[in-house]
Amino acid sequence: MGMALMRKFIFRYLIPRIIQYLTIIFVGITVTFIIPRLAPTDPVEAQVSTMVAMGSSLDPESIEAMRTALTDLYGLSGSPVEQYFTFWGRLFRGDLGPSLDNFPTPVSSMIGQALPYTLRLLIPAVIISFIFGNVFGAMSSYYPENKALKVIEVLGQVVRSIPYYIVAIVLLVVFAYFIPIFPFSGAYPLGTRPDWSSPEFILKTIEHAVLPAATLILIGFGGWFVGMKSLTSNIISEDYVVYAETAGLRKNTILTQYIMRTAILPQLTALAMVIGTVFSGALIMEVVFGYPGIGGLAIRAIYSNDYSMIMGITIYSIIGVATAVFVMDLLYPLFDPRVRYQ
């Protein structure tokens, strides 16, 4: 890349992406800051009343002390503007306070422990469904008469239209309840200690991951399939594809090098756009399958009224998803020469 090209790339591509990245984080964090302050319930009062209801016999003085501590913990002391800056200040320090359920373990470290489980499930599932959905989607518009592809398309469309949770529960009921070939719940058998050096343990975790991963793959598959099919059915009539056919190129060459290679680019952009949605889907999956990732953490926090954990999960999710999108945007030019050599 020459200097002029490089400069053009930085100003036309890179800087807008960086601005967008910062905007997402700014808007997301601000929304999470505003929501609790607009909500009719006061999280401090809610927390205090749960603790009182739990039966702890506290004298009014210590309740008052707790109230002050919680107000401070939630960043609710001072004017709204002061609160806003304190909020960001704590974020930059990575300090999201202690979990109220597992006091005083910091929220950050609990999320750090759960995150690998979510990622181990999410990343392979996304990659597999992306690849298969796109390959089959392109094939189905290139070979419109193929019966097997039509069946796959119908299945993909059906699964795609149904809510995540229903797909998960159907798979769970069928493959863990009626035909019990997969474990019902968890990431590893109950009572075992996670030991990543033992091949037996790893095998067990894989066995536990099959159903949740399969659900994520199935759901994603239909979306990529349909998207790719509609993209390629337009590309098929593009001049360069018609030309390649007239030139008598092999069908496989046309499909991979001429059709899929261009159609995959908008799909990569779409992948960046739906990372948030896919992540949300993974959370639900973990709830259904009792998986100890971020979703599992969230459901426990909901039941135990752990406000700081919910807050932490929301904030980390926003930052994580925004960063994933940003990284994908940065990688995109590697695939599209039209961006690389504007």
Partner 1 sequence: MISIVRDLLKYDGRFRLAVIFLGGVAAMILLSYNSPYDPGKSFVVPWDLPPSQQYIFGTTSRGQDLFWWLTFAVRNSLFLGVLTAIISRVIAILVGLTAGYRGGWLDRVLMSLNDTFVVLPLLPILILLGFLLRERMSLFYLAVILGLFGWPFDARLIRSQVLSLKERSFTRTAIYSGSSGFWITIHEHLPFVLPIVFATTINNILWSIGMEVTLSILGLSDLTTPTLGTALFWANQHGALVAGIWWWIAAPALVTIVLFLGLYLFFTSINEFIDPRTRLRLIGG
Partner 2 sequence: MALLSVKNLHAYYQTEVYGISRTVRAVDGVSFDLFPNEIYGVAGESSCGKTTLIKVISGSIKPPLKALEGSVNYTFGDYSVDMLRASQDELRQNVRWKEISYVMQGSMSVLNPVRRVIATFRDIVDTHEGITDKQKFLEQTRAHVNRLGLPTDVLDAYPHQLSGGMRQRVAIALATVFQPSLIIADEPTTALDVVVQRGVLQMIKEIQAISSNTVLLVTHDMAVHANVADRLMIMYAGRIAEEGPTETIFNEPLHPYTQHLIRSLPMIGERSTKVSLEGAPPNLAHPPTGCRFHPRCPYVMDVCRTEVPELVTVKERHRVACHLVKEDSL
Single out the residue of 228, 276, 264 nearest to residue 122, CA to CA: 276
For the chain, first and last CA: distance in Å?
A: 11
Is residue 242 a contact residue for partner 2 (CB under 8 A)? yes
Q: Which of 110, 141, 310, 332 binds partner 1 (CB under 8 A)?
A: 310
Could you tell me the two tokens for 249?
A: 């190129």
Could you give the 3-state DSSP secondary structure of residue 59? coil
Sequence-separated (6 or more) residues with CB below 8 Å from residue 41: none
* Between 13 and 201, CB nearer to partner 1: 13
Residues 307 and 47: their CA atoms lie apart, in Å, by 8
What's 75's DSSP letter? T
292 sits near partner 1 (criterion: CB under 8 A): no
Q: Is 146 in the site for partner 2 (CB under 8 A)?
A: no
Q: What are phi and psi of 243, to 5 degrees?
A: -60, -50
Residue 283 is a binding residue for partner 1 (CB under 8 A): yes
Write the single-letter amino acid at 157: Q
Q: Are 161 and 226 in contact, with CB atoms under 8 Å apart?
A: no
Residues in contact with 40: Cβ distance below 8 Å, sequence separation at least 6, in sequence order: none
**Would you count residue 333 as binding partner 1 (CB under 8 A)?**
no
Q: Which of 280, 304, 336, 340 binds partner 1 (CB under 8 A)?
A: 280
Among the residue ranges 4-12, 117-125, 144-152, 310-318, the one whose residues contact partner 1 (CB under 8 A): 310-318
CB under 5 to 8 A by kind: which of partner 1, partner 2, none does 338 bind? Answer: partner 2
Footprint on this chain of partner 1 (rule: CB under 8 A): 19-20, 23-24, 27-28, 31-32, 35-36, 39-41, 43, 46, 157-158, 161-166, 169-170, 172-173, 177, 233-234, 272-273, 275-277, 279-280, 283-284, 287-288, 298-299, 302-303, 307, 310-311, 313-314, 317-318, 321-322, 325
Footprint on this chain of partner 2 (rule: CB under 8 A): 238-240, 242-250, 253, 257-258, 261-262, 265, 336-338, 341
